[in-house]
């Protein structure tokens, strides 16, 4: 099986800091709280009063911020 790679495709990497900025922006937009507050509440399992759909969306941004989905901080200085 062969594949063709389009010369216009570019892989871009983002830093943990950029990922944290995205998490913060999305947490503020979806829930009205900071990314740091979302992470703190996520780790503490204190999300019951938040919109489940928004929490699910933000859950998927955690790795961008250097935070594993099991709640442990995986990057130095994680939010």
Give the model's pLDDT for residue 37: 95
Q: Is 54 part of a structural domain of the chain?
A: yes
Q: Is 8 part of a structural domain of the chain?
A: no
Give the model's pLDDT for residue 47: 93
Q: Is 22 part of a structural domain of the chain?
A: yes
d(C-alpha 22, C-alpha 39), whole Å: 13
* Overall number of domains in the chain: 1
- Phi-psi bin for 2: left (phi > 0), alpha (psi -120 to 50), beta? beta
Give the model's pLDDT for residue 4: 60
Q: Is 39 part of a structural domain of the chain?
A: yes
* 25-70 pLDDT per residue, tens: 999 999 999 999 999 999 888 999 999 999 999 999 999 998 887 7
33 or 9, higher pLDDT: 33
Give the pTM.
0.73
d(C-alpha 33, C-alpha 29), whole Å: 8
Host domain of residue 56? 16-65
Instruction: Report the length, in residues, of the chain.
Output: 79
């Amino acid at each position: 099986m062969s594949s063709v790679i389009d010369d216009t495709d570019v892989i871009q990497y983002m830093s943990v800091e950029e990922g944290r900025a995205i998490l913060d922006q999305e947490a503020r937009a979806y829930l009205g709280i900071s990314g740091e507050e979302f992470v703190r509440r996520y780790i503490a399992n204190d999300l019951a009063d938040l919109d489940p759909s928004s929490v699910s969306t933000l859950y998927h941004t955690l790795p961008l911020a250097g935070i594993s989905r099991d709640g442990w901080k995986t990057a130095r200085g994680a939010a």
